Amino acid sequence: MTKINAAITGIHAYVPNYVLSNEELEKMVDTNDEWIMTRTGIRERRILKGEDQGTSIMGIEAVKGLMEKTNTNPEDVDLLICSTVTPDMLFPATANVISDGAGIKNAFSFDMNAACSGFLYALATASQFIETGRYKKVIVVGADKMSSIVDYEDRTTCILFGDGAGAVLMEPTEEEVGLIDSEMKSDGSGEQHLHMKAGGSRRPPSHETVNAKEHFVYQEGAAVFKFAVSRMADIAEEVVNRNGLTGDDIAWLVPHQANKRIIDATAKRIGIDEDKVMMVIEKYGNTTNATIPLCLWEYEPQLKKGDNLILAAFGGGFTWGSIYIKWAYDA
Ligand code: UT7
Angle value at C-alpha 235, between 38 and 247, nearest 5 degrees: 75
Within-domain flag for 110:
yes
Could you count the other beta carbons within 10 Å of the beta carbon of residue 69? 13
Residues 138 and 47 placed together within one structural domain of the fold: yes
Residues 158 and 261 placed together within one structural domain of the fold: no
> Whats the size of the chain, residue-wise?
331
CB-count exposure of residue 50 (10 Å: 0-12, 13-18, 19+): exposed
DSSP H helices, 162-213, are 207-211
Cα–ligand 1 centroid distance for 221 (angstroms): 5
Within-domain flag for 226:
yes
Low-confidence ranges of the chain (pLDDT < 70): none
Residues 78 and 103 placed together within one structural domain of the fold: yes
Q: Which residues, 6+ apart, have CB-to-CB distance to 207 below 8 Å?
A: none
Q: Which residues, 6+ apart, have CB-to-CB distance to 190 below 8 Å?
A: 224, 227, 316, 317, 318
Say how many domains are in the chain. Answer: 2
Per-residue pLDDT reduced to its tens digit, 276-304: 999 999 999 999 999 999 999 999 999 99
Q: Three-state SS for 178?
A: strand
User: Which of 120, 156, 219, 284 best tests ligand 1's pocket when mutated (most atoms within 8 Å of CB)?
Assistant: 156
Cα–ligand 1 centroid distance for 273 (angstroms): 26
Within-domain flag for 241:
yes
- Closest to 15 (Cα-Cα) out of 164, 132, 130: 164
Per-residue pLDDT reduced to its tens digit, 299-318: 999 999 999 999 999 999 99
pLDDT of 185 reads 98
Residues 54 and 187 placed together within one structural domain of the fold: no
Residues 88 and 236 placed together within one structural domain of the fold: no
158 is catalytic: no
Q: Which residues are registered as beta bridge partners of 195?
A: 218
Kindly write down the DSSP assignment for every residue of 256-317, as one continuous string.
--S-HHHHHHHHHHTT--GGGB---HHHH-B-GGGHHHHHHHHHGGG--TT-EEEEEEEETT
261 lines ligand 1 (CB under 6 A): no
Q: Which residues, 6+ apart, have CB-to-CB distance to 321 below 8 Å?
A: 117, 120, 121, 124, 182, 183, 184, 185, 235, 312, 313
Within-domain flag for 331:
no
Ligand 1 atom 14 nearest Cα: 221
Residues 185 and 240 placed together within one structural domain of the fold: yes
Q: Residue 60's domain is classified under what CATH number?
A: 3.40.47.10
40 lines ligand 1 (CB under 6 A): yes
| Active-site residue, selected from the candidate residues 82, 256, 259, 295 | 256
Residues 192 and 243 placed together within one structural domain of the fold: yes
Residues 118 and 194 placed together within one structural domain of the fold: no
Please identify, among 176, 193, 228, the residue that sits at the C-terminal boundary of a domain.
Answer: 176
3-state helix, strand, coil in the chain (%, to 5): 40, 25, 35
pLDDT of 331 reads 87
Residues 284 and 146 placed together within one structural domain of the fold: no
Residues 230 and 152 placed together within one structural domain of the fold: no
Within-domain flag for 85:
yes
Range(s) of the domain holding residue 197: 180-326
Cα–ligand 1 centroid distance for 156 (angstroms): 6
Within-domain flag for 11:
yes
- Rounded Cα distance between 305 and 288, Å, is 27
Residue 158 CA: nearest ligand 1 atom is 48
* Beta-carbon-side half-sphere exposure of residue 72 (alpha carbons within 13 Å): 27
Please identify, among 176, 195, 225, the residue that sits at the C-terminal boundary of a domain.
Answer: 176
Within-domain flag for 257:
yes
Could you count the other beta carbons within 10 Å of the beta carbon of residue 207? 7
324 lines ligand 1 (CB under 6 A): no
265 to each of 180, 273, 287, how far by Cα in Å?
24, 11, 20
- Rounded Cα distance between 157 and 299, Å, is 27
Residues 69 and 141 placed together within one structural domain of the fold: yes
Please identify, among 144, 176, 208, the residue that sits at the C-terminal boundary of a domain.
Answer: 176
Residues 105 and 12 placed together within one structural domain of the fold: yes
256 is catalytic: yes
